[in-house]
């Protein structure tokens, strides 16, 4: 049995058209947008209805205003609204639309006008064409007053249903302008990474975007495959900026990766040199299985210490095919005009940097600066040994002034071994120290064996008759006896040079 207070509560609820279970219900009329961001070709669709708990009633009067400078209300089968399916308020009683003022008055009822219905959710939808762009604008559609009429809900007793304060349309953005990019990475050029991947790993700091309406522009790129860019080609990264309204803009960054990787060849030359800096040509060859690569460059040499007898050292970047992992491979280095070939094991050299207008993430290294790896100087004729032919070449150029600097394209012979710009007996010391040395190779040695003697007639047949001056004792041979005489200070003189004829005899 109910208490007197319970009976009183039931009377209050009935008087206001509320159910006993919702006596303290909180609800209000509201205008909500189906999408708070509106892009190109989209319309603004709003729903007018209840926000909160349901109430019991039979009718609604909706008095609405809209910003006619930004919105145009669309017609729907002669009406300017559409009923929300499932709502009991499906009886269209009255509509008054004034486009000049931007107002709309609607009256709706239920088919069962003598019985309260449960009212909740949306009642009608309005569709607007956007006349211009606007950013985070509130109150584009509002509850208003027209000729003293205001929005309200009523029950079967014709009493107004108590509601909380109505809520107008909140923040809405209509944006048709694409965002703009900031700090798009510039195009880059790289050497292939020194790991045989045939690619270079390049990581970019993504650009940022800005927009007239949106502070949270999303930046994406099309590099689904990751940050490794193939060697020997130019790849394009496409950045896409998207704002909340779906407008997009694109920007691109190019990544140019060489087909080659870098090797830093560091060498020192055996022998004594002046402390003057100069250049010499250098050739590097590398072998890795069936792969072979050769590159030639000019190397700048500088004295490692001070004084007239300072040894010179130098380093030069050279190119190796990027598709091969040269780590642990065999490499040979030589100065074609002056030295024999020395072999080294290629190693990884950590660190980033740039060379020749390209960046690198890693590079290979050849280190020939220890005393056991000095390039052996004294090979004047560019073959695989230092022997009597180099002595003959030296004598034929003795007393000549030769250019200090040589390059990878300088033609020989060039017997100024000590870089004094004069071929003198000082250069003979290089021959003496390295006499009978042979090339080192990445594998079995297949070069010639050094010779201690050569006939003058053989030099003639080889087109080297001018080297017959090295036959100091004029016995028809260039050999150790002539080397000894020159070292004792005996000066060469013009020898009798044989000529070759077509007969059986060689005439002097």
Is pTM, for the whole model, over 0.75? no
Phi, psi of 188 (to 5 degrees): -130, 155
Beta bridge pairs of residue 107:
61, 94
Query: Do residues 202 and 223 touch, judged by C-beta distance below 8 A?
Result: no
Query: In terms of C-beta density within 10 A (0-12 exposed, 13-18 middle, 19 or more buried), how is residue 362 classed?
Result: buried
∠ at Cα 380 (374, 382), nearest 5°?
85
Query: Do 166 and 201 meet the contact criterion of CB atoms below 8 Å apart?
Result: no
Residue pLDDT tens, the chain, 508 long: 333 333 333 333 333 333 433 444 689 999 999 999 999 999 999 999 999 999 999 999 999 999 999 999 999 888 999 999 999 999 999 999 999 999 999 999 998 778 999 999 999 999 999 999 999 999 999 999 999 999 999 999 989 999 999 999 999 999 999 999 999 999 999 999 999 999 999 999 999 999 988 778 999 888 866 799 999 999 999 999 999 999 999 999 999 999 999 999 999 888 656 567 888 889 999 988 878 888 888 877 765 555 444 567 888 999 999 889 999 999 999 999 999 999 999 999 999 999 999 999 999 999 998 888 999 999 999 999 999 999 999 999 999 999 988 988 999 999 999 888 999 999 998 898 999 999 998 887 777 899 999 999 999 999 999 999 999 999 999 999 999 999 999 999 876 656 555 444 433 3
C-alpha 17/C-alpha 164 separation (Å) is 15
């Amino acid at each position: 049995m109910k208490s007197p207070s319970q009976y009183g509560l039931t009377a209050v609820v009935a008087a206001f058209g509320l159910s006993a279970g919702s006596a303290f219900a909180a609800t209000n009329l509201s205008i909500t947008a189906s999408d708070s961001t509106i892009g190109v070709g989209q319309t603004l669709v709003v729903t007018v209805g209840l926000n909160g708990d349901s109430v019991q009633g039979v009718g609604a009067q909706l008095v609405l205003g809209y910003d006619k400078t930004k919105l145009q209300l669309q017609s729907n089968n002669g009406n300017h609204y559409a009923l929300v399916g499932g709502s009991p308020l499906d009886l269209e009683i009255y509509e008054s639309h004034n486009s000049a003022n931007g107002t709309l008055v609607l009256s709706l009822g239920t088919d069962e006008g003598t019985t309260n219905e449960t009212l909740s959710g949306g009642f009608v939808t309005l569709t607007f064409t956007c006349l211009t762009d606007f950013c985070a604008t509130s109150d584009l559609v509002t509850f208003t007053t027209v000729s003293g009429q205001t929005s309200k809900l009523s029950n079967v007793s014709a009493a107004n249903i108590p509601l909380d304060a109505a809520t107008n349309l909140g923040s809405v953005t209509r944006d048709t302008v694409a965002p703009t990019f900031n700090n798009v990475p510039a195009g880059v050029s790289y050497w292939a990474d020194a790991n045989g991947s045939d690619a270079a790993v390049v990581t970019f700091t993504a650009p940022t975007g800005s927009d007239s309406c949106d502070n949270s522009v999303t930046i994406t790129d099309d590099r689904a495959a990751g940050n490794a860019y193939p060697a020997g080609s130019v790849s394009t990264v496409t950045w896409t900026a998207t704002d909340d309204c779906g407008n997009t803009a694109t920007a691109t960054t190019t990544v140019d990766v060489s087909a080659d990787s870098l090797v830093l060849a560091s060498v020192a030359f055996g022998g004594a040199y002046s402390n003057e800096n100069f250049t010499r040509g250098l050739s590097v060859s590398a072998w890795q299985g069936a792969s072979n690569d050769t590159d030639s460059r000019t190397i700048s040499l500088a004295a490692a210490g001070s004084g007239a007898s300072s040894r010179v050292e130098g380093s030069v970047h050279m190119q190796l095919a990027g598709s091969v992992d040269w780590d642990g491979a065999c490499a040979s280095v030589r100065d074609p005009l002056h030295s024999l070939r020395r072999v080294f094991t290629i190693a990884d050299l950590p660190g980033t940097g740039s060379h020749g207008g390209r960046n690198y993430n890693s590079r290979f290294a050849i280190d020939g600066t220890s005393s056991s790896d000095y390039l052996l100087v004294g090979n004047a004729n560019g073959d695989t040994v230092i022997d009597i032919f180099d002595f003959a070449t030296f004598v034929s150029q003795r007393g000549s002034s030769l250019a200090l600097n040589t390059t990878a394209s300088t033609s020989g012979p060039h017997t100024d071994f000590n870089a004094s710009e004069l071929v003198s007996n000082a250069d003979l010391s290089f021959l003496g120290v390295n006499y009978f040395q042979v090339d080192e190779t990445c594998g079995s040695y297949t070069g010639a064996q050094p010779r201690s003697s050569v006939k003058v007639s053989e030099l003639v047949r080889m087109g080297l008759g001018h080297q017959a001056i090295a036959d100091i004792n004029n016995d028809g041979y260039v050999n150790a006896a002539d080397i000894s005489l020159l070292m004792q200070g005996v000066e060469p003189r013009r020898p009798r040079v044989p000529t070759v004829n077509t007969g059986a005899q060689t005439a002097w």
